[in-house]
Amino acid sequence: MNTFKKMGLTPELLHAIEDLGFTEPTPIQQKAIPLILNSATDYVVLAQTGTGKTAAYGLPVLQLGDPDLPQLQTLVLCPTRELCVQISTEITRFSKYMPGNSVTAVYGGASIQEQIRSLKSKKQIVVGTPGRVLDLINRKVLDFSSIRWLVLDEADEMLNMGFKDDLDAILEKTPKEKQTLLFSATMPNEVTKIARTYMNSPEEISVGKRNSGADNVTHEYYMVQAKDRYAALKRIADMNPSIYGIVFCRTRIETKEVAEKLMHDGYNADALHGDLSQSQRDYVMSRFRMKNIQMLVATDVAARGLDVHDLTHIINYNLPDDPEVYVHRSGRTGRAGKNGIAVSLVHVKESGRIRELERITTKQFERKQVPGGREICEKQLINLVDKVKSTQVDEVNIEKYLPAIYEKLELLDREELIKHFISVEFNRFLEYYQDAPDLNLTSKSSKTSTYQKSEESFTRFHINLGSKQNLSASSLIALVNRSCPGKRIEFGKIEILRKFSFFEVEQSRTNQLLSDMNNAHYDGIPVTIEVSVPSKFGNSNTSHTDAGGDRKRMAGKKKRVRKW
């Protein structure tokens, strides 16, 4: 068994680790800590969230740092306020028995003047969000001349949130002689560019396969009509009375609507979205961490950087447009050796996306049947009995009420008493699900091919942009919606190739797209789109004959070893 003691950590750090209850390092800690302690090499560390990344870099930089040098030695950049506070708190706990080491967190949404006063006391370790760090640099508050370690935590998330320009500006000001540690759950092109530009021949440390899903997460999906998503969500919640999870929606409006419906129907739920003030957000998160809320309904942007332990479920009310976002979502459960479940509600035309996610995550997705009324009632009945059985009896306080209670119930025998007692809580489920319809798509409808379904209501387009122009699914969607004013456009299948791409949009918007995107530009490149007519072989028409060759080149690239 590998232990922290075998890694060469100091007694002070081992003492702090023991106080925190850590006994055995996680896989990423086993790999990263000895390498960072014994080498000044730059490292790209690929690991899911919740795998112990903070200790993987926090313990080595504390041990190697100089507590007697009152200057900034370690800068940690991370995407959100919540993660910033979490990292600084954890590093502070690790340094409990190391006097002289001082850590501070700097982030937006808090008083910059207080943060400036804190920095004047010469902190050795600063943890910050890119926007606030850049602001402090421009105010000449942060001095980077003594930095020896630069950590980019959740680099992919920082880039997804639009911090690329801020990161470039910050990284250009850091000294060349330093060790850079880049931590990321996925490795999109933008993160690769950061590594190539600002890191010195980095080596890769990884746990599991690149961009793959967490090992402790089970992936399930339910195939339902779009109109039945909410009803299916309720049944999943009812089948899991102890559910503690996040429900991901596509938009703020949908987030609010789903959360309001859940609360109206008696579920312990609330919403987290961009319209909330920081105090409202903190209040919701406090209730969720205390498990006063069982289901938090959120957008991806609002949920970034959340640190919540013991989540049982992640539910995709809608599949994300970018597969890497799915990897991030599902990685929020199944942490610290515990098991978790990632659930997706999909319709027929998304079945191809499930296959794509299986390939990217290297995990098998199990199609589940939406439970019916009989199953849910049975589950709730057993849960109620277990809850009653495990309830602790306070004999001292209830003793004075027992005579009156016994008198009220003396005409009921044991079996009748049990029936009455169970029915008090259980009748509402029996009544609600008595005539509940089957929400599962029939075998006939589920066998309809993805393309046939798409053909009925979607138009397929060819666009002259691909991965070579840094186009992704999310940037394509943003480009189209930005170019076409009005109601948000519904997309079908998106296929990003190297030099060009294909995408589907709702048929009713075909003419608008052809008109509104006539003068569109993407990173200075004129955009050209046209309707793509499928051939009998299922590919696009012969005007785009290099599609097959492009796929072959992409397949060949996947087999090559990455060179930085």
pLDDT tens, 251-283? 888 999 999 999 998 899 999 987 888 788 888
Where do you find CATH 3.30.70.330 in the chain? 449-550
Can you tell me the mean pLDDT for 75-79?
A: 94
Q: How confident is the model at residue 485 (pLDDT cuts 50, 70, 90)?
A: confident
| pLDDT tens figures, 538-561 | 444 334 434 444 444 444 443 333
pLDDT of residue 451: 36
Q: How confident is the model at residue 187 (pLDDT cuts 50, 70, 90)?
A: confident
pLDDT of residue 552: 41
**Which CATH topology does 449-550 take?**
Alpha-Beta Plaits (3.30.70)
Can you tell me the mean pLDDT for 124-141?
A: 93
Cα-based torsion angle of the residue sequence 72, 78, 80, 83 in order, rounded to the nearest 10 degrees: -80
Residue 324: name the closest of 42, 135, 134, 48 by CA. Answer: 48
Can you tell me the mean pLDDT for 195-221?
A: 79
Residue 317 has pLDDT above 90, yes or no: yes
Q: How confident is the model at residue 208 (pLDDT cuts 50, 70, 90)?
A: low
> Which residues have a Cβ under 8 Å from the Cβ of 557 and sit 6 or more positions away?
none
pLDDT of residue 534: 55
Q: What is the DSSP letter of 323?
A: H
CB 480 within 8 A of CB 517: yes
CA distance 432 to 4: 54
Where do you find CATH 3.40.50.300 in the chain? 4-206, 217-372
pLDDT of residue 365: 92
Q: How confident is the model at residue 214 (pLDDT cuts 50, 70, 90)?
A: low
Residue 131: name the closest of 103, 104, 158 by CA. Answer: 158
User: What is the chain's mean pLDDT, rounded?
Assistant: 83
Range of lowest pLDDT (169-178, 439-448, 523-532): 439-448
Residue 49 has pLDDT above 80, yes or no: no
pLDDT of residue 456: 46
Residues 4-206, CATH architecture: 3-Layer(aba) Sandwich (3.40)
Residue listed under structure tokens 């890119």: 130
Tokens of 64: 């190697």
| pLDDT tens figures, 429-464 | 777 777 778 888 754 444 333 333 334 478 899 999
pLDDT of residue 448: 37
Residue 6 has pLDDT above 80, yes or no: yes
**Which CATH topology does 217-372 take?**
Rossmann fold (3.40.50)
| pLDDT tens figures, 380-436 | 888 888 888 888 888 888 888 888 988 888 888 888 888 887 777 677 777 777 777
pLDDT of residue 439: 87
Which amino acid is located at 386 in the chain? D
